[in-house]
């Protein structure tokens, strides 16, 4: 049997690491009332998101209804599967059902047409606790993100992975020294599932493990891109550089991006020498993709690696090598684009104008109004910090405002709960009460 399943935690107190996130989930679940915000649990793979959600349901005595990307997630399918469970109470009244929506960052794409919208609606009107899971917070459609409470799971430190591996070894009667366990934990890169998979892959048919046994089934060694860049700057022989470039399990476009980032360490003359070679490599890559002529890749790698090495002239590594800035900018740009689109959608709907008109005539006015007092605007439009930040062009003010509103909302929720109880009597299929007014008409604001 798969060890990741066999040793999947059944209770929350068995979850490795991420204490704050787990506590946040418990607080949410134990005080849950219809109308509460769903949780959006996000973070890297193998950090315990799904396990925690399942364990939470187990601890609470809730049933679980799952909805994941291997199912069709069209509006119709979502309403059929989750709609019922989410809208009505359990068949026998008592227990609740946790509606689990995995891979909430994978709702776009033509196959899931209407899926995001349907989930947003479901989330709005759910009579059951809803929990969404995602790897990438900004891959979650903004309309969903703004209606949920985010919970972040962080990559696990190797030192918290080791004890879990040790337990598993004990259970399986496997002898494995501490150094080997640490090697497994470290090469898993914060991913507990990868660590357990690696351990099992190496352990089948063996009664003891050492470092050598681990090496064959190690998670892929991405680290060598650092070695490659380092070797390029240190002026190693061409053959060695090309052999390293071959070893690095990354495509030439990634290598070019890393080398470009490393150029920031070089004096400007060297950078000027290197750019033409990188640009030639870039062109070869573009041609590779456009013509689907993969032989061109080899020239790209050689041009980038040898060209940069020639320009660097053995300058050496001066400061820490970092991942390509271009990728960070791209992630930031994506985040901005997403915030911008949802801000425009909300503003447009609120003011009843088209996007073009909004940009041309109304945006400046809205911006000036928001600058006078951001609170009512943020409240009326249900803006998150990114959206408000864009509108105000003031990140700090936006963060403060959104934090204040969140606090206000929590207090309101608490005050409102006792009053909402009687409403549960009406769970007989009649329409749920309309959600609290979140979109006041224009006149109340302007």
Partner 1 sequence: METTDHTIWIERYRPARLADIVGQDEIVERLQSYVQHGSLPHLLFTGPAGVGKTTAAVALAREFFGESWQMNFRELNASDERGIDVVRNQIKEFARTSPLGGAEFKILFLDEADALTPDAQAALRRTMETYARTCRFILSCNYSSKIIDPIQSRCAIYRFRPLGPDAIRDGILQIATNEGLTVTDGAVEAIAYVAQGDMRRAINALQGAAMVSDQIDESRVYATTATARPDEILELLRLLVAGDFEAAEGALRALLFEHGIAPGELLGQCYRALIRLPMHRDLKVELIDHLGETDFRLSEGGTPELQMEALLARCVLSARRYAC
Residues that bind partner 1 (CB under 8 A): 1-2, 4-5, 44-46, 68-72, 102-103, 106, 109, 111, 135, 191, 193-194, 197-198, 200-202, 204-206, 215-220, 222, 238-239, 242, 249-251, 254, 277, 280, 284, 287, 291, 293, 295-296, 298-300, 302-303, 306-307, 309-310
Cβ contact 158:182 at 8 Å: yes
Cβ contact 158:186 at 8 Å: yes
Strands (E), 206-348: 208-209
Cβ contact 38:130 at 8 Å: yes
Give the closest residue to 172 by CA, choosing from 374, 351, 375, 3.
Answer: 3
Shorter beta-carbon distance to partner 1: residue 157 or 215: 215
* Residue 186 CB neighbours (<10 A): 16
Shorter beta-carbon distance to partner 1: residue 68 or 322: 68
Phi first, then psi, for residue 52 (nearest 5°) are -65, -40
Q: How far is it, in rounded angstroms, from Cα 79 to Cα 97?
A: 15
Cβ contact 95:63 at 8 Å: yes
What minimum distance in Å lies between the beta carbon of 276 and partner 1?
Answer: 9
Q: How far is it, in rounded angstroms, from Cα 251 to Cα 230?
A: 18
What minimum distance in Å lies between the beta carbon of 339 and partner 1?
Answer: 22
What minimum distance in Å lies between the beta carbon of 74 and partner 1?
Answer: 11
Q: How far is CA 215 from the centre of its chain?
A: 29
What minimum distance in Å lies between the beta carbon of 165 and partner 1?
Answer: 15
Burial class of residue 382 (count of CB atoms within 10 Å of its CB; 0-12, 13-18, 19+): middle
Tokens of 104: 């909430």
Q: How far is it, in rounded angstroms, from Cα 32 to Cα 29?
A: 5
What minimum distance in Å lies between the beta carbon of 296 and partner 1?
Answer: 6
Cβ contact 161:130 at 8 Å: no
What minimum distance in Å lies between the beta carbon of 210 and partner 1?
Answer: 13
Shorter beta-carbon distance to partner 1: residue 45 or 114: 45
Q: How far is it, in rounded angstroms, from Cα 126 to Cα 17?
A: 30
| DSSP category for residue 358 | I
Shorter beta-carbon distance to partner 1: residue 79 or 235: 235
What minimum distance in Å lies between the beta carbon of 177 and partner 1?
Answer: 20
What minimum distance in Å lies between the beta carbon of 270 and partner 1?
Answer: 12
Shorter beta-carbon distance to partner 1: residue 45 or 400: 45
Shorter beta-carbon distance to partner 1: residue 20 or 109: 109
| DSSP category for residue 373 | -
Shorter beta-carbon distance to partner 1: residue 4 or 124: 4
Shorter beta-carbon distance to partner 1: residue 171 or 364: 171
């Amino acid at each position: 049997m798969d060890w990741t399943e066999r040793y999947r935690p059944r209770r929350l107190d068995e979850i490795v690491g991420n204490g704050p996130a787990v506590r946040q989930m418990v607080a949410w679940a134990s005080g849950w009332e219809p109308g509460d915000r769903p949780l959006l649990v996000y973070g890297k793979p193998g950090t315990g998101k799904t396990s925690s959600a399942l364990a939470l349901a187990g601890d609470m005595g809730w049933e679980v209804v799952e909805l994941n990307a291997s199912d069709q997630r069209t509006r119709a399918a979502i309403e059929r599967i989750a709609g019922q469970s989410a809208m009505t109470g359990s068949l026998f009244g008592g227990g609740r059902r946790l509606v689990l929506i995995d891979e909430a960052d994978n709702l776009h794409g033509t196959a899931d047409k209407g899926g995001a919208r349907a989930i947003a609606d479901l989330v709005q009107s759910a009579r059951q606790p809803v929990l969404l899971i995602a790897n990438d917070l900004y891959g979650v459609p903004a309309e969903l993100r703004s209606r949920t409470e985010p919970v972040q799971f962080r990559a696990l430190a190797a030192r918290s992975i080791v004890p879990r591996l040790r337990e598993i070894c004990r259970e399986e009667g496997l002898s494995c020294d501490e150094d080997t366990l640490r090697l497994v934990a470290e090469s898993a890169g914060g991913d507990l599932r990868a660590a357990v998979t690696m351990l099992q892959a190496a352990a089948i048919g063996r009664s003891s493990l050492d470092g050598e046994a681990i090496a064959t089934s190690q998670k892929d060694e991405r680290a060598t891109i650092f070695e490659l860049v380092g070797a390029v700057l240190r002026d190693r022989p061409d053959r060695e550089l090309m052999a390293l470039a071959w070893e690095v399990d990354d495509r030439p476009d990634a290598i070019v991006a890393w080398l470009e980032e490393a150029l920031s360490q070089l004096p400007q003359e060297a950078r000027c020498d290197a750019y033409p070679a990188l640009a030639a490599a870039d062109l070869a890559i573009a041609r590779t993709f456009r013509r689907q002529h993969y032989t061109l890749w080899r020239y790209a790698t050689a041009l980038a690696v040898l060209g940069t090495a020639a320009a660097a002239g053995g300058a050496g590594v001066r400061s820490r090598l970092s991942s390509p800035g271009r990728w960070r900018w791209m992630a930031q740009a994506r985040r901005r684009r997403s915030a911008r689109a949802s801000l425009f959608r909300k503003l447009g709907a609120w003011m009843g104008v088209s996007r073009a008109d909004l940009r041309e005539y109304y945006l400046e006015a809205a911006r000036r109004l928001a600058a006078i007092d951001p609170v009512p605007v943020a409240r009326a439009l249900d803006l998150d910090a990114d959206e408000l930040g864009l509108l105000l062009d003031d990140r700090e003010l936006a963060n403060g405002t959104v934090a204040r509103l969140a606090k206000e909302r929590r207090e309101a929720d608490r005050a409102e709960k006792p009053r909402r109880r009687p409403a549960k009597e009406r769970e007989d299929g009649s329409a749920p009460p309309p959600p609290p007014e979140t979109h006041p008409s224009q006149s109340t604001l302007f």
